[in-house]
Amino acid sequence: MTTRRHFLRVLGACAGVGAGVGFYTFEIEPGWLEIVRRPLPLRRLPPPLIGRTVAHLSDIHIGPMVSDDYVIDTFRRVAALKPDIVVITGDLMSWCQGWRDHVAAVYREVPRGRLATIASLGNHDYGPGWRDHAIGDSLAAVLRSCGITVLRNQMLDVEGLQIVGLDDLWAKRFNPGQVLPTLDPSRAAIALSHNPDTADLPVWGNFEGWILAGHTHGGQCKPPFLPPPVLPVRNRRYTSGEFHLAGNRRLYISRGVGHTVPVRFNVRPEATLFDLQGTNG
């Protein structure tokens, strides 16, 4: 009898822990944003930009799976940091019927950089199947109407810093040859490229500096001390965070703000605030 009572008590405790973990995974962590602050050292950074900040948002996924209130609260938290430059590295939406008005209403609230507010596109920005170029073009127009500069294999000069926005790999719009050869190698540059696998492609030439990416969402769920089991990249090292690459390049992968499925465990959503630093190394 005592053994049976003990067994039922253990079973009850396990069920309680399971329910708690489930509640946390579905209801808490997907909306528990972490603001990550870190340096962004760049060679040949123009002196007026030393100490300025770049806010990096990625994978916001406006649509049926992500709460607008959560995104707008994230926008307000980032705006309160008064970033000099805001960059968004793709998957700004998850396509659904009636997306235009919805996306426009949310991105009207986007935090503005003092100097620039820039986005590049990701695979989800091209609709179902990721290949509908008309949807990508329409989204770019909506974002521009909200005051965001959308770079599609283009470069914007921000006070002497070259910011390159590369279009999406899976949408078959990644075309670095259109923009990288136009860069001035004597000046600092940052590239926005949604899919971190692009960092491994033999396309970068003498590009030095940072590639900012997203796409993985950090895997969304990760057992402690182990890599996430689900990652949409060829290079399985590319989970999240910083990676040193050949050619004096560095890659930073954001865990993203939103999600495609509202589940996160041990991979909190992220907005990143970089402090621009000059460096000789």
Beta carbon of residue 216, minimum distance to Fe ion (angstroms, whole number): 8
Residues between 178 and 237 with contacts to Fe ion, criterion CB under 5 A: none
- Taking the complex as a whole, the smallest distance from the CB of residue 253 to Fe ion amounts, in Å, to 11
Q: How far is the CB of 131 from Fe ion (least distance, A)?
A: 16
Please name the helix (run of DSSP H) or strand (run of DSSP E) that holds residue 276, with its range, or none. Answer: strand 270-279
Which region among 51-59, 134-142, 169-177, 245-253 touches Fe ion (by CB under 5 A)?
Answer: 51-59
**Residue 125 in the binding site for Fe ion (CB under 5 A):** no
Supply the minimum distance, in Å, between the C-beta of residue 78 and Fe ion. Answer: 18
Cβ contacts of residue 7 below 8 Å, gap of 6+? none
For residue 102, the minimal CB distance to Fe ion (Å) is 17
**CB-based burial of residue 17 (10 Å sphere; 0-12 exposed, 13-18 middle, 19+ buried)?**
exposed
Q: Give 170 or 265: the residue with its C-beta nearer to Fe ion.
A: 170
User: Which lies closer to Fe ion via its Cβ, residue 95 or residue 210?
Assistant: 95
Q: Which is nearer to Fe ion, 209 or 258 (CB)?
A: 258
Choose between 59 and 168: whose C-beta lies nearer to Fe ion.
Answer: 59
By CB under 5 A, how many residues form the interface with Fe ion?
Answer: 2
* Shortest distance (Å) from residue 145 CB to Fe ion: 23
Nearest approach in angstroms of CB 132 to Fe ion is 16
Q: How many helices (H) and strands (E) does the chain have?
A: 4, 12
> Half-sphere exposure of residue 169, counting CA atoms within 13 Å on the CB side?
18
Rounded to whole angstroms, the Cα distance separating 45 from 208 reads 12
Query: Distance between CA atoms of 206 and 183, rounded to whole angstroms?
Result: 10
List the x/- string, 75-114, binding to Fe ion by CB under 5 A: ----------------x-----------------------
Q: Which is nearer to Fe ion, 66 or 116 (CB)?
A: 66
Provide, rounded to whole angstroms, the least separation between the CB of residue 98 and Fe ion. Answer: 20
Strands (E), 5-121: 34-43, 53-57, 85-89, 116-120
Comparing CB distances to Fe ion, the nearer of 207 and 252 is 252
Among 40, 45, 57, 59, binds Fe ion (CB under 5 A): 59
Report whether 136 contacts 173 (CB < 8 A).
Answer: yes
Report CA Rg, the chain.
20
CB closer to Fe ion out of 91 and 270: 91
Give the binding range for Fe ion (CB under 5 A) out of 59-67, 126-134, 150-158, 226-234: 59-67
Q: For Fe ion, give the closer residue by CB, 209 or 256.
A: 256
To 5 degrees, how large is the angle CA 47–CA 115–CA 121? 115
CA dihedral over 276, 150, 256, 166, signed as positive or negative: negative
- The CA distances from residue 14 to 8, 23, 29, 115, in Å, are 10, 14, 21, 53
- Kindly write down the DSSP assignment for every residue of 1-36, as one continuous string: -HHHHHHHHHHHHHHHHHHHHHHIIIIIGGG--EEE
| Binding residues vs Fe ion (CB under 5 A) | 59, 91
